[in-house]
Amino acid sequence: MRTLILAFAALCAALTARAQQPTVVGRVTCQGKPVAGAVVSDGELVTRTDADGRYAMDSRKPCGYVFLSIPSGYEVAADGLIPRHFGYTTHCAVDTIDFELEKVNNDNFTLFVSADTHLRGDPEELDLPQFRKWYLPQIRREIERTKGPVYSIHLGDMSTDIMWHRNDFGLRKYLDVMKTYPSPVFHIPGNHDNERFVGMEVPDRLWDSLAQAPYRRIIGPNYYSFNLGKVHFVMLDNIIVRRSILKKNKASSHNDYKLDERQLRWLARDLETVADATPLVICMHVPIFRYTGIREDGTGEFTPALTEMHDQIMPLLGRFDNVRMLTGHCHVFINIPVNEHIRQHSFVSASAVSWKINGPESRLISEDGTPGGYGVFKFRGDKVDWQFHPNGYEADKNQFRVYDLNTVPEEFGGQPGSNRVLVNVYNWDDDWRISVRENGREIGAKRTWTRDPLYRLIRRDALPTRPTAFLAINNAHMFVVETSDAASTLDIVVTDGAGRRYRQRVERPKTFDWRIE
């Protein structure tokens, strides 16, 4: 009996030891020397390297890869557009995934932020010619002439999922088009970067994982973190793909906008590695907050648009002193001061409202009247300033557009005989200021909740066969000015949060047509 007990105990000990054997191991080095304290994750577990730069995880390999949260003061090599801060796991008992870093002083760096390029490869909609004319050459020039370390982020919807099949234009084609882009890009997926047609026979619980598979295979991890200088970046995938049953027993997809449970567990563990005072940048495709109107005092009213994700993430962010959320998806600017420590930036699309309604007779602007474009953030230590760069314009000369409502037809929001002027300050946030002088006298401007007249004109002429698609929206960056007469001259100065001043002299009456600037 004693012999059997001892044998059973030995077997249990052997099985326990076997179960505790790591399934993923590796080493993080720089020029052959160990990098201690680097954070590595499999998308669920989070660990740090030891004094010899080694890490080990008893991982279930849930995501099919392991990623390094690039430490401050380092970079990784890139494979074309893709930074190689990750490695794929296999079905082997133990995977060895090493990471090699390059030392760099990146306390001061510049970040280029784009969203919603929506490349489609469509010969009728001409997205690629427009992309190559308006967006790609301009951002390339800006990056190439920027001094110091430069990095780029894409906030999702690089592609358009339906065109993966209709035009054979998927994520690999996106990478091909971006071959001349001069900076590696940290990506996150948008709702249009997932496989739409997974299969009728696939259970709903597996749809999200299978829909993500092409993105993970071609681009890389769909959520992860890294550090640049003094800033910690968290890249989230807040798209959960669900199955929808269509007619004739076909299945397509719909989306929930929140974090799955595994990603939420990982996020909590990742943030445990970050000090309270570290500036935190949270990137995701779909914004959590949206504006609902303007109060009498000129401040914006806002509410959570994603209530479940709000409840998931906000408790994790409460201890941090400085948080910025960078988002896309809506194709418009939504800059919201959530509270004293958290600010949400939602970016206008690089494609404006959609390539399909742009063209030689239209204008590259979105539903809120903002030109398509991208953001440039300059981080200097733990400080940052940022500027919108509109496609086809000089950033220092085009941050707002002015409408003389006397000359705008009523169907586009005009008010003939009112002597009012409307100012659309694309990238407005609460740190900005606007000054309006009429014949040298300050008359002020009142923030208002309304739609952009030029976009309403474009929308009417561009898509007469789709009356409910891509409609103009009320937005929180419009200002109305009451003037004394219809022919006075106005001097408008808009000052951004960094103190840059943008000026326009408006001679009235001002013509309203396609050429308006």
Q: Model confidence over 465-479: pLDDT tens digits?
A: 677 888 999 999 999
Least confident stretch, 316-330, 356-370, 407-421, 487-501: 356-370
Q: Model confidence over 385-404: pLDDT tens digits?
A: 999 999 989 999 999 999 99
**Residues 480-504: what's their mean pLDDT?**
96
For the chain, the first-to-last Cα distance in angstroms comes to 93
Q: How far apart are CA 365 and CA 373, in angstroms?
A: 9
Q: Residue 125: what pLDDT?
A: 85
Q: Residue 46: what pLDDT?
A: 98
Instruction: Name the DSSP letter for residue 249.
Output: G
CB 286 within 8 A of CB 273: no
CB 423 within 8 A of CB 510: no
Exposure of 55 in the CB half-sphere (CA atoms within 13 A): 30
Q: Model confidence over 240-256: pLDDT tens digits?
A: 988 776 555 566 678 89
Distance of CA 25 to the CA centre of its chain: 32
* Domains of the chain and CATH, by start: 2-100 (2.60.40.1120), 108-397 (3.60.21.10), 400-506 (2.60.40)
CB 220 within 8 A of CB 37: no
Q: Model confidence over 73-130: pLDDT tens digits?
A: 999 999 999 999 999 999 999 999 999 999 999 999 999 999 999 999 999 888 999 9
Q: Model confidence over 340-388: pLDDT tens digits?
A: 999 999 999 999 998 887 655 567 899 999 999 999 999 999 999 999 9
**Residue 515 — pLDDT band, cuts 50, 70, 90?**
confident
Q: What is the pTM of this model?
A: 0.93
What is the sign of the dihedral through the CA atoms of 90, 161, 355 and 458? Answer: negative
Q: How far apart are CA 129 and CA 22, in angstroms?
A: 50
More confident residue, 372 or 1: 372
User: Is the model's pLDDT at 488 over the cut of 50?
Assistant: yes
